[in-house]
């Protein structure tokens, strides 16, 4: 048997037949789209040629070829790096620099200088460096105050009028018999 018999009122599922008109219309649209695409490609190629695109590409390729030939036949660093077996002057320079750097690192490791202490000494041994850093920060704060004119010393350093007044005052003191006598007396007492 090929299958079961349908019961009364049962429906048989079918597919709609191919609509030839609709298929022809879609085919026609596809052909139109392909024709438009071909026109756009032709227009782009013509525009590219009109703007000397092929000439630009040819010039660029010629420039690249010139650079490659110069690297291949020249005596520069790139030639040395690519073609020389560690004999080119550029490579030798790099080797010398690396050897010098290695020597510096060895001196730091073996030496007893500041860099060795910073890297290799224990934190307890670095107390002096810590104190020097703190003192440097304090000195920087003091110098900043002087630079901004804060305090007597800052005013004296940054205010030319105050400096001239102090100079006149001290100059007048040298001319004063009383002040000179007091200075002489104080130095004699110290001796």
pLDDT in tens, 147-186: 898 888 888 788 888 878 877 777 766 666 776 777 777 7
pLDDT, position 157: 81
Cβ partners under 8 Å of residue 117, min gap 6: 125, 126, 129
**pLDDT at position 69 over 60:** yes
Reported as a pLDDT band with limits 50, 70 and 90, residue 140 is very high
pTM score of the predicted model: 0.30
Q: Whose CA is closest to 91, among 106, 110, 76?
A: 76
Per-domain residue ranges of the chain: 20-160
pLDDT, position 41: 84
**pLDDT at position 28 over 70:** yes
Give the CA distances from residue 30 to residues 12, 64, 90, 129, in Å, rounded to whole numbers and listed in that order: 35, 43, 62, 83
Ordered DSSP codes for 126-179: GHHHHHHHHHHHHHHHHHHHHHTT-HHHHHHHH-HHHHHHHHHHHHHHHH-HHH
pLDDT, position 138: 94
pLDDT in tens, 83-106: 766 555 666 677 778 888 888 889
């Amino acid at each position: 048997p090929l299958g079961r018999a349908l019961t009364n009122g049962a429906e048989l599922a079918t597919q709609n037949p191919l609509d030839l008109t609709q298929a022809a219309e879609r085919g026609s649209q596809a052909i139109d789209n392909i024709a438009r695409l071909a026109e756009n490609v032709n227009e782009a190629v013509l525009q590219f040629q009109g703007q000397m695109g092929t000439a630009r590409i040819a010039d660029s390729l010629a420039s690249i070829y010139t650079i490659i030939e110069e690297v291949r036949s020249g005596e520069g660093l790139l030639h040395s790096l690519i073609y020389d077996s560690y004999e080119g002057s550029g490579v030798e320079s790099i080797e010398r620099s690396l050897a010098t750097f290695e020597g510096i690192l060895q001196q730091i490791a073996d030496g007893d200088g500041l860099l060795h202490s910073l890297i290799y000494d224990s934190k307890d041994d670095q107390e002096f460096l810590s104190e020097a850093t703190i003192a440097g920060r304090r000195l920087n704060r003091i110098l900043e105050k002087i630079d901004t004119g804060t305090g007597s010393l800052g005013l004296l350093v940054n205010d030319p009028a105050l400096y001239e007044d102090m100079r006149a005052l001290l100059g007048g003191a040298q001319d004063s018999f009383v002040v000179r006598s007091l200075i002489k007396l104080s130095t004699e007492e110290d001796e």
